[in-house]
Amino acid sequence: MANLKVLKNRIASVKSTRKITKAMQMVAAAKLRRAQEAAEASRPYTERFNAVMAGLAASVGGSDTAPKLLSGTGSDKVQLLVVMTSERGLCGGFNTNIVKLAKAKARDLLAEGKELKILTVGKKGRDQLKRDFGKHFIGHVDMSEVKRLGYADAQGIAKDILGRFDNGEFDVATIFYAKFVNVVSQTPTAHQIIPATFDAEDGETDTTALFDYEPSEEAILADLLPRGVATAIFSGLLENAASEQGARMSAMDNATRNAGDMIESLTIQYNRSRQAVITNELIEIISGAEAL
């Protein structure tokens, strides 16, 4: 019977799909652990850095000589959005969520009459943004060659952004990435990096105000602000890496479960029609025998 054969093939194909999604889930779980460890390892640096910067920014920020990276160019006309997404798909709503947030922000900015520039990191975000905002693209950073995310990667991106800032290409820069909360939830986040903002922890700023600075506060600030950009990007990239794997893991878990359900219902259907065929044949045989 053709119908039976079709069902059988269908079951076989869903089964192999399940195998693939199951394998992808396990790979994502392993990668997630690594990505989480990397994010964990970078936290002491980021925390100390931000605490020091917050203290410095508070004491120097108000003066006229404050560096442009901190005080801004005095305008917010040209906005740069740095959208960081993954290189690969099949990770649920991960990329879509980041892009959605970036798109909402982009529309707001355009509605306010601001000039918009977009720099994409990661292929998926670029593909999704291309249709609506393709003409605003100023660059793309390809991360597909990067096997293990290092600080040097973040430095490369930061250098590009800082170079554009020095050339006066934009006034305000915001990075978009997904903050890792846990395996099932990743929050798309926007973080303004130029002019720099630092989230000071409570009480930290009071103590840093008492420090001696060598060389001067301004010199240190000027030296550290570009690093702050790289640090912010690096922590964004790390969060993104963990989020991507987390999202992929839960997406693949769902897919595996769906495949299981499908196999179950297909198997029932297959057995039913097989039995119907047998019953049919029996009826034919019996009625043939009775007719004699």
Partner 1 sequence: MADTMQFDLVSPERQLASGQVLSIEVPGSDGDMTVMPDHAATITTLRPGILRVAGSDGTSEYVVTGGFAEISPTGVTVLAERAVARGDMTQETFDDMMKEAHSTYSTIRETFKNEPGPVDDAAKLLADMVAVGTHIGLDSKQANL
Interacting residues toward partner 1 by CB under 8 A: 38, 41-42, 44-46, 48-49, 52, 56, 150-151, 154, 207-208, 210-215, 219-220, 223-224, 227, 230-231, 234
Residues 6+ apart with CB under 8 A from 101: 176, 188, 189, 190
> N- to C-terminal Cα distance for the chain?
28
Question: Phi, psi at residue 193, to the nearest 5°?
Answer: -105, -25
Q: Which residue has the tokens 């479960």?
A: 257
Q: Which is nearer to partner 1, 98 or 225 (CB)?
A: 225
Query: By three-state DSSP, how is residue 244 classified?
Result: helix
Q: Which is nearer to partner 1, 52 or 118 (CB)?
A: 52
**Can you read off the two tokens belonging to residue 75?**
């305008």
Residues 6+ apart with CB under 8 A from 56: 208, 217, 220, 221, 224
Which residue type occupies 184?
V
Which of 91, 98, 178, 252 is the catalytic position?
A: 91
**Can you read off the two tokens belonging to residue 197?**
């903002």
Q: Which is nearer to partner 1, 116 or 193 (CB)?
A: 193
Give CA–CA dist 139/128, Å, rounded: 15
Measured over the CA atoms of residue 214, residue 216, residue 217 and residue 218, the dihedral's sign is: negative
**Contact indicator for 195, 173 with CB cutoff of 8 Å:** no
Within 10 Å of residue 81's Cβ, how many Cβ atoms?
25
91 catalytic residue (yes or no): yes
Which residue type occupies 192?
Q
Q: Which is nearer to partner 1, 29 or 38 (CB)?
A: 38
Q: Which is nearer to partner 1, 149 or 249 (CB)?
A: 149
Give CA–CA dist 190/92, Å, rounded: 20
Q: Which is nearer to partner 1, 213 or 271 (CB)?
A: 213
Mind telling me the catalytic residues?
91
